[in-house]
């Protein structure tokens, strides 16, 4: 008798590892290492290096401690600490103290960026009859959660809003995306002198403000819709974890062609550096204010314009209990006043290190920002506690003789919320060193928010990340059955870990897009609620909704620390130069489709085009050629990487061989960097990956070519495709270098 095996079920952990994990839980010491050594993925490590690494990784698995994580959280969330405030300075001291207490080298990387601070704000509905109705602009205190009110709460504001008063009729602009404003233009609905009302979601909020400003709006209100994070998702905090009608999402609206300090593009915002005049920087010029849906409902429910056209309705209707309309009508006027202060303010990145014993100049960086809109129990501290605990455990193991061969850097970034400022200033400060020696950057912003690990990464890091999923216990699953992250993350549908493509929105941008450092965003979600950027992002919320057992943080810490340890210790760098050849053709296809869509929409607009003006045939031709070259490169790289890895595994490689191989692997990483930068945003120098310049959060693979296609610029398409061909030239040269090396080793 046999029970049928369903065809779709979680991929079983490989048997040896499954056997190993319970052993891990029960035993420690060298005896327990036999099984893991067989199970873990050290295929290209010379045998002599494997035992110590397995011991180190077992040490990480065992020593990551929920009580410690909880303690870090208490320490870091004691008070509000918005960038540039006294609370920020106190927190920086605490971080320095914490890292020093673990025995790490610590540096304060002091910067003085231009920041934006709230002063006051008001929004009123001006009905045709009767008195103005002031709208609430702060969350209701939650009984039993002291951090939901008082000093722990930062005023609800959109950093970088202009100061001033706007008054006018109302236009609902849906998400305020490029497409939404284009739809309004098609409908002939003017924003001129009116107040735009946008709901959160769909793009980075800064683009809502940018497009509203460009459309002539006098002001912008951005509200949280209950369909996105309110009752349609679940019960409100504190009964459940979701937003209530007073929840407000704070956040920056900065959109410049470069991240970081607005006054020092390309250069660090440190003492002695020239600053731009703020008047010369394209900062927002209209007042912008975030709202909860109780407040927004006071406006939306009074609107009297016609119904939303049926073709837009599905996308534009939100969760409030009435049919949304686009225009408020002349009888409904709204007045908003925002006062903010923009000034330079001191803050600091906190940089701790465990120096490498063999290659101290080579760096593996783990980072998370430390500033927050309040105490930030989730954003960012759900990630910062992971960085702290990883540092504590790896430092302890280093003291016991299991220190890294390359330097591991633990970074707490300043002023991320104001525009990725601290990390970008540090990258700009250390650009040349990072270009030469940075192995990888692992970003851990808000990393431990639930049981489901989610990974976005550059192609080169996917292999090592995938390997480590197979040895880290899954949060919330039965450890005694050896359930790993891999069992959960593949969801039973595939044997491959799904990876996101890295977009914008956090501190990896400087590393990835400016210097070309292999980067990953490591995070875990799936909790039943959201408190993002609201007054409810408190310890009480976190412990109720994500969990008081710190299982998520434990899982993420184990994962991130082991990935860092592998990157720091592997004789042959754990960067896979071949994976991009499998990822790239998909990007090529997407661009070819996009080019077709652009030609179609030009045709639909009635543009008269000569055959030579069509974008699609040109793009199809280039992407075919790019794909052909990539596909020709794939077996060649596969073969040679395999040869080098086998040579390493058989202990045939000398220190010199590793130095040559690793230099080539780093060069492969940087092959996509072009000092000329991207069209219209030269700070972005990675031709393979950039943030979407029109939405901010999303990603643009092959951004130079994409930009040329979006502008239907034939000449630019040729130019950008030629630059990509140049990248492939460099990668072919690297393949040749690896081949020469392999031959040399094999012929010895």
Binding site for a copy of itself (CB under 8 A): 1-8, 226, 231-236, 239-240, 242, 307-308, 310, 313, 317, 319-323, 528, 596, 599-600, 602-604, 606-611, 614
DSSP 3-state of 117: strand
Of 324, 159, 306, give the one whose Cα is nearest residue 225.
324
| CB closer to a copy of itself out of 492 and 676 | 492
Residue 359 pairs in a beta bridge with 406
Residue 303 CB, shortest distance to a copy of itself, in Å, is: 11
| CB closer to a copy of itself out of 241 and 516 | 241
| CB closer to a copy of itself out of 294 and 371 | 294
* Pairing relationship of beta strands 333-344 and 114-126 according to DSSP bridges: antiparallel
Q: How far apart are CA 99 and CA 366, in angstroms?
A: 14
Q: Which residue shows structure tokens 């250390």?
A: 430
Structure tokens at 484: 């790993």
* Alpha-carbon distances of 532 from 202, 289, 379, rounded to whole Å: 15, 16, 7
Cα 426 to chain center, whole Å? Answer: 17
Residue 498 CB, shortest distance to a copy of itself, in Å, is: 19
| CB closer to a copy of itself out of 149 and 596 | 596
Residue 564 exposure: Cα atoms within 13 Å on the Cβ side: 35
Cα 228 to chain center, whole Å? Answer: 20
Rg of the chain taking only CA atoms, in angstroms: 26
What are the helix (H) ranges across 470-537? 485-489, 508-509
Give the contacts of 646 (CB within 8 A, at least 6 positions apart).
Answer: 44
| CB closer to a copy of itself out of 609 and 659 | 609
Residue 16 CB, shortest distance to a copy of itself, in Å, is: 26
| CB closer to a copy of itself out of 236 and 336 | 236
Q: At what angle do helices 580-604 and 616-649 cross, to 10 degrees?
A: 170
468: exposed, middle or buried (Cβ count in 10 Å: 0-12, 13-18, 19+): buried
Residue 232 CB, shortest distance to a copy of itself, in Å, is: 5
Contact 72, 102 (CB under 8 A): no
Residue 11 CB, shortest distance to a copy of itself, in Å, is: 16
User: How large is the greatest C-alpha to C-alpha distance in the chain, in angstroms?
Assistant: 92
Residue 597 CB, shortest distance to a copy of itself, in Å, is: 9
Residue 137 CB, shortest distance to a copy of itself, in Å, is: 21
| CB closer to a copy of itself out of 308 and 411 | 308
Structure tokens at 361: 């100049």
Residue 158 CB, shortest distance to a copy of itself, in Å, is: 26
| CB closer to a copy of itself out of 491 and 596 | 596
Q: Which residue shows structure tokens 């130019």?
A: 719
DSSP 3-state of 744: helix
| CB closer to a copy of itself out of 299 and 308 | 308
| CB closer to a copy of itself out of 51 and 235 | 235
Of 169, 196, 194, 189, give the one whose Cα is nearest residue 330.
169
Structure tokens at 24: 């891990």
DSSP 3-state of 686: strand
Structure tokens at 158: 């959109």
| CB closer to a copy of itself out of 225 and 261 | 225
Residue 677 CB, shortest distance to a copy of itself, in Å, is: 32
Residue 234 CB, shortest distance to a copy of itself, in Å, is: 5
Q: At what angle do helices 381-397 and 551-569 cross, to 10 degrees?
A: 50
Which uninterrupted H or E stretch holds 94? Answer: helix 86-101
Q: How far apart are CA 128 and CA 425, in angstroms?
A: 50
| CB closer to a copy of itself out of 239 and 729 | 239
Q: How far apart are CA 234 and CA 231, in angstroms?
A: 5
| CB closer to a copy of itself out of 144 and 314 | 314
DSSP character string of 524-592:
EE--SB--TTSTT-SHHHHHHHT-TT-HHHHHHHHHHHHHHHHHHH-SS-S--SSTHHHHHHHHHHHHH
DSSP 3-state of 267: coil
Residue 453 CB, shortest distance to a copy of itself, in Å, is: 17
Q: How far apart are CA 553 and CA 383, in angstroms?
A: 8
Q: How far apart are CA 591 and CA 620, in angstroms?
A: 8
Residue 297 CB, shortest distance to a copy of itself, in Å, is: 9
Residue 334 CB, shortest distance to a copy of itself, in Å, is: 22
What are the helix (H) ranges across 188-281? 205-214, 226-229
| CB closer to a copy of itself out of 272 and 321 | 321
Cα 13 to chain center, whole Å? Answer: 28
Q: How far apart are CA 227 and CA 317, in angstroms?
A: 9
Residue 535 CB, shortest distance to a copy of itself, in Å, is: 20
Contact 558, 473 (CB under 8 A): yes
| CB closer to a copy of itself out of 79 and 312 | 312
Residue 554 CB, shortest distance to a copy of itself, in Å, is: 22
Residue 4 CB, shortest distance to a copy of itself, in Å, is: 4
Of 572, 391, 388, 555, give the one whose Cα is nearest residue 464.
572
Q: Which residue shows structure tokens 């899982």?
A: 555
| CB closer to a copy of itself out of 53 and 544 | 544
Structure tokens at 530: 């959201």
Contact 578, 644 (CB under 8 A): no
**What letter does residue 399 receive in the DSSP assignment?**
I
| CB closer to a copy of itself out of 600 and 628 | 600
* Alpha-carbon distances of 269 from 81, 108, 258, rounded to whole Å: 20, 14, 14
| CB closer to a copy of itself out of 237 and 426 | 237
Residue 690 CB, shortest distance to a copy of itself, in Å, is: 28
Residue 333 CB, shortest distance to a copy of itself, in Å, is: 22
């Amino acid at each position: 008798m046999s029970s049928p095996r369903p065809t779709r079920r979680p991929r079983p952990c490989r048997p040896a590892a499954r056997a190993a994990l319970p052993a891990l839980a029960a035993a420690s010491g060298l005896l327990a290492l036999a099984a893991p050594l067989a199970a873990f993925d050290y295929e290209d490590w010379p045998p002599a290096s494997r035992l110590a690494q397995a011991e180190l990784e077992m040490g990480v698995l065992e020593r990551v401690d929920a009580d410690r994580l909880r303690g870090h959280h208490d320490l870091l969330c004691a008070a509000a600490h918005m960038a540039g405030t006294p609370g920020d300075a106190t927190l920086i001291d605490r971080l320095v103290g914490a890292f020093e207490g673990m025995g790490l080298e610590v540096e304060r990387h002091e910067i003085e960026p231009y920041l934006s601070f709230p002063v006051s704000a008001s929004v009123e509905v001006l009905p045709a009859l009767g008195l103005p109705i002031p709208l609430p602009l702060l969350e209701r205190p939650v009984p039993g959660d002291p951090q939901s009110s008082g000093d722990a709460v930062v005023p609800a504001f959109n950093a970088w809003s202009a100061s001033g008063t706007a008054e006018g009729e109302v236009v609902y602009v849906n998400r305020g995306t490029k497409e939404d404003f284009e739809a309004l233009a098609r409908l002939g609905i003017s924003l001129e002198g009116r107040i735009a009302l946008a709901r959160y979601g769909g793009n980075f909020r800064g683009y809502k403000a940018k497009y509203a400003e460009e459309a002539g709006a006098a002001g912008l209100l951005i509200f949280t819709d209950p369909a996105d994070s309110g009752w349609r998702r679940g019960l409100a905090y504190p009964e459940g974890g979701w937003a209530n009608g007073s929840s407000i999402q704070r956040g920056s609206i900065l959109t410049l062609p470069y991240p970081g300090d607005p006054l020092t593009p390309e250069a660090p915002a440190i003492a002695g550096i020239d600053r731009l005049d703020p008047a010369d920087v394209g900062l927002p010029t209209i007042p912008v204010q975030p709202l909860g849906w109780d407040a927004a409902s006071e406006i939306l429910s009074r609107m009297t314009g016609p119904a939303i056209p049926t073709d837009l309705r599905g996308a534009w209707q939100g969760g409030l209990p009435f049919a949304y309309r686009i225009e408020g009508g002349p009888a409904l006027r709204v007045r908003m006043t925002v006062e903010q202060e923009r000034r330079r303010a001191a803050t600091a990145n906190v940089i701790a290190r465990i120096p490498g014993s063999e290659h101290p100049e080579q760096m593996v960086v783990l980072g998370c920002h430390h500033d927050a809109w309040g105490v930030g129990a989730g954003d960012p501290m759900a990630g910062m506690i992971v960085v702290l605990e990883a540092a504590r455990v790896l430092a302890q193991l280093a003291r016991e003789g299991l220190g890294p061969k390359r330097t591991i850097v633990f970074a707490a970034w300043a002023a991320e919320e104001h525009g990725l400022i601290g990390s970008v200033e540090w990258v700009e400060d250390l650009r040349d060193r990072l270009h030469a020696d940075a192995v990888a950057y692992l970003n851990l912003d808000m990393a431990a928010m639930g049981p489901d690990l989610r990974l976005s990464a550059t192609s080169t890091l996917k292999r090592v990340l995938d390997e480590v999923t197979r040895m880290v216990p899954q949060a919330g699953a039965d450890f005694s059955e050896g359930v790993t992250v891999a069992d959960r993350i593949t969801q039973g549908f595939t044997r491959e870990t799904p990876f996101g493509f890295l977009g914008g929105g956090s501190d990896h941008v400087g590393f990835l897009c400016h210097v070309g450092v292999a980067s990953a965003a490591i995070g875990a979600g799936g909790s039943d609620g959201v408190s993002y950027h609201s007054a409810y992002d408190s310890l009480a919320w976190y412990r109720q909704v994500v969990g008081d057992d710190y299982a998520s943080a434990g899982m993420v810490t184990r994962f991130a620390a082991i990935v860092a340890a592998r990157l720091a210790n592997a004789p042959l760098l754990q960067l896979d130069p071949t994976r991009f050849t499998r990822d790239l053709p998909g990007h090529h296809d997407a661009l070819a489709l996009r080019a077709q869509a652009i030609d179609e929409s030009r045709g639909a607009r009635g543009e008269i085009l000569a055959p030579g003006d069509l974008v699609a045939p040109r793009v199809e031709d280039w992407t075919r050629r790019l794909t052909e070259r990539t596909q020709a490169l794939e077996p060649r790289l596969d073969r040679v990487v395999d040869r080098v890895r086998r040579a390493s595994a058989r202990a045939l490689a000398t220190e010199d061989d590793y130095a040559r191989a690793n230099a080539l692997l780093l060069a492969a990483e940087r092959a996509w960097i072009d000092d000329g930068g991207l069209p219209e945003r030269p700070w972005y120098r990675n031709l393979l990956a950039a943030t979407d310049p029109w939405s901010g959060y999303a990603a643009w693979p092959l951004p130079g070519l994409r930009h040329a296609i979006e502008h239907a610029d034939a000449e630019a398409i040729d130019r950008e495709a030629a630059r990509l061909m140049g990248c492939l030239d460099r990668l072919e040269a690297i393949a040749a270098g690896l081949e020469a090396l392999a031959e040399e080793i094999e012929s010895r």
